Amino acid sequence: MKWQVALAAAEAEYAERHAGSREAMRTMAAWMPGGDTRSTTWFRPFPLVMDYADGFEMTDVDGNVLLDFLGNYTALVHGHRPPFIFAAIAAALERDFLFGAPMVEQGELARRIVERLPSAGRVRFTNSGTEAGMVAARIARRFTGRERLALAEHSYHGSYEPLVWEATDRTGTATFPVNDIAAAEWALNASGPLAAVFLEPVLGSGGVITVEDDFLAFLRDYTRRTGALLVLDEVMTFRLGYGGRQEATGVTPDLTTLGKIVGGGMPVGAVAGREDVLAVTDPSRPGSMEHSGTFNGHRLTMVAGAAGLDALDRSAVERLNRLGDRLRDGLAAAATASAAPVSVTSCGSLLNLHAAADVTTPAQANAAAQSDLARYLHLALINRGVFVAHRGEMCVSTAMNEETVDRAVEAVADALGEAARLEGLA
């Protein structure tokens, strides 16, 4: 099979450059399964172990400096150690950060989200996107009196089992394909009455595949007709517009799950949505749904999130998406000039470099991510000082500029040329 020669060379160079990471992973494996505590950060032959970061650069335990084009899977929209977020956290630390009581900072971040998000009347905070999905599912079930949920194939909504996509049908969860209205309607009708339909407006781990506007409009109409709630997962996509991706599409969901950037780099999750729907969690109402959490609305998260959102104004979002478009165009040009079958999908500041030509569906993206060429590209880019996800997912941050983007494109072009030479294609 092609690309095995290139992969072997990249893997050997990677192992030589990152001996410290290999040893650290061996050490940590004595206390954590595989030496890691997060499945998405593990890859063969062993993951990088990081030590320090600033702006758009990270330094691993071996002293290798990398351009961070992953941003902790899109969460670090302002890069590493942004001074305005650090200042907000430092000020909060002076007054302590955790109480068994409400804090005004919770209301301040909630107000910012409501003012930005077209569909939001109220907000409830959690500690992760996974928890946000769990709470949204509970709210939908309480509000509708139904149990069954539906989600898109190859979607990602965290680690809550009913919202984890699997290729096989499961009791309690229905699945449907994106961008195919007829097939999706058949699957949803076959599922029986639904409490909620969950969807990412751009499928992140599904290959940064944008959900088409007419498909979103179909789901909005379908859920209204059938009495289900429409839940848009904007954990990743909130960075794509001042009011998230839903602002650009014009589709208003009943609930929106949030995370990542609304915490300014701190652990966060949130459920925002219609006032009457969120009212089921109002503790002042008799018989309300209980939703507690020791760290919900943590002061450090609230102030970091507020500072991060204030810095992500409309002009910052527009600049970020222009940088993403520049990266997309550069990667596409490198793909065209290469003998390797590669392609790129994108939406604004979110991108995916695929180890296959003409990727347009989540299934194609998933298959491409399992190939030897995908593994080669991942390791070859790290060897060239560019950090991306092992499935090829990328993003840009406000800490970057056009030169940063161009350096990543140059690294991709060089890696593709090297692969072609090693495989005798150039």
Active-site annotation, residues: 156, 233, 260
Of 381, 371, 365, nearest to 48 by C-alpha is 381
Of 81, 28, 73, nearest to 264 by C-alpha is 81
Task: In whole angstroms, give the CA distance from residue 361 to residue 406.
Answer: 27
Task: In whole angstroms, give the CA distance from residue 228 to residue 256.
Answer: 14
Q: Name the H helices within 161-212.
A: 181-191
Task: In whole angstroms, give the CA distance from residue 50 to residue 61.
Answer: 6
Quick check: helix, strand or coil at residue 157? coil
Of 422, 351, 406, 416, nearest to 73 by C-alpha is 351
Positive or negative, the CA dihedral 97, 75, 151, 218 is positive
Task: In whole angstroms, give the CA distance from residue 200 to residue 178.
Answer: 10
Phi, psi of 353, deg, nearest 5: -90, 120
State the DSSP code for 281: G
Q: Using an 8 Å Cβ cutoff, are 177 and 218 in contact?
A: no
